[in-house]
Amino acid sequence: MIRKMWLVVWVLLAVAVTAVSAQDALRLSLSRDFGAGFGADIQGRFSMHVEGPEDLVRVLFFIDDTQVAEQTAPPFRYQFSTGNFPPGTHVLRAVGYTADGRELTSNTITPIFITSSDANRRVVTTIVPIIALVIGVGLFSWWVASRGQKASGLPAINGPFGGAICPKCHKPFARHWWGFNVVIGKLDRCPHCHKWSVVQRTHPDLLQAAYEAMLQAEKSAADAPTPTPEDKEKTLRKQLDDSRFDN
């Protein structure tokens, strides 16, 4: 029983000490204002931020062993440019002082300062392949979809450049990559009526509705009876009679 009581006391003391230490802690953080960051590698303008107890009255900022700034009022912040320091690993830290004279030491941050040319090279070698991969996946997905439509005998109505509805024949089609971009749309050639028009990107729902209307019209035309030679002769005779006029 006594051992359990002592254990509880030790736990409470540890919690109290931890709480006091947390209140007296000086927390240093680093934020990017304008520049590039690749893990520990950074380039550009960054800021050191310090948070501490309420009675914190002065903070000294250090890069390596050199004091670079002193702040005597919150927010305790110091902005710097990596270009003002030699490339390589640097140690960032801060020392704070409270109103009653206590000295507090912050945690350390060890970034690697790189040059702008190295940052540009990292952007090219990191971001460009990601963009190319995204574009490649999009084109591959469109190719698979269009291949499936071609295999089923159905025309493609959408693609990487969007779909449009021909203003001449009112049929949907996928805009071509070789179409000419103009201010109000893309000058493109309809694969159905083979006429050129300036077409805008159309919402997929409208494309689908136009596509279903096109299929329905084609089905109705296929189901219609084939006119016989007699029907054609009657049609031509009617057209001839309609073209006459009385004096």
**Of 68 and 125, the one with more pLDDT:** 68
CA distance linking residue 152 with residue 211, whole number of Å = 15
DSSP, collapsed to helix, strand or coil, labels residue 71 as: strand
pLDDT (tens digit per residue) in 217-239:
888 887 777 666 676 677 777 77
Mean pLDDT, residues 108-131: 86
pLDDT at 6 over 60: no
Predicted confidence at residue 2, as pLDDT, reads 60
For residue 15, the model assigns a pLDDT of 40
Please determine, for residue 19, whether its predicted confidence score (pLDDT) is greater than 70. no
pLDDT computed for residue 225 by the predictor? 72
Cβ neighbours for 48, distance < 8 A, ≥ 6 positions apart: 28, 29, 30, 61, 77, 78, 79, 80, 92, 94, 109
- Per-residue model confidence (pLDDT) at position 24: 66
Give the DSSP letter string of 122-163: HHHHHHHHHHHHHHHHHHHHHHHHHHHHHHTTPPP---TT-E
What Rg do the C-alpha atoms of the chain give, in angstroms? 37
159 contacts 174 by C-beta, under 8 angstroms: yes
Average the pLDDT over 207-218 and give the result: 88
102, pLDDT greater than 70? yes
Residue-level pLDDT at 227: 66
Given this model, what pLDDT does residue 16 score? 43
Give me the CATH topology for the region 25-117.
Immunoglobulin-like (2.60.40)
- Rounded average pLDDT over 164-175: 91
User: Would you place residue 26 in the very low, low, confident or very high pLDDT band (cuts 50, 70, 90)?
Assistant: very high
Per-residue confidence band for 11, with pLDDT thresholds at 50, 70 and 90:
very low
Question: How far apart, in whole angstroms, are the C-alpha atoms of residue 101 and residue 97?
Answer: 6
DSSP state of 99: T
Domain range summary for the chain, segments of one domain joined by + = 25-117, 138-229
Q: Which of 31-35, 155-159, 183-187, 202-206 has the lowest mean pLDDT?
A: 155-159
Please provide the DSSP assignment of 12-68 as one string.
Answer: HHHHHHHHHHHHH-BEEEEEEEEEEEETTEEEEEEEEEEE--TTEEEEEEEETTEEE
Alpha carbons 41 and 114: distance in angstroms, whole number? 6
Task: Reply yes or no on whether the pLDDT at 140 is more than 60.
Answer: yes
Q: Inform me whether the pLDDT recorded for 215 exceeds 60.
A: yes
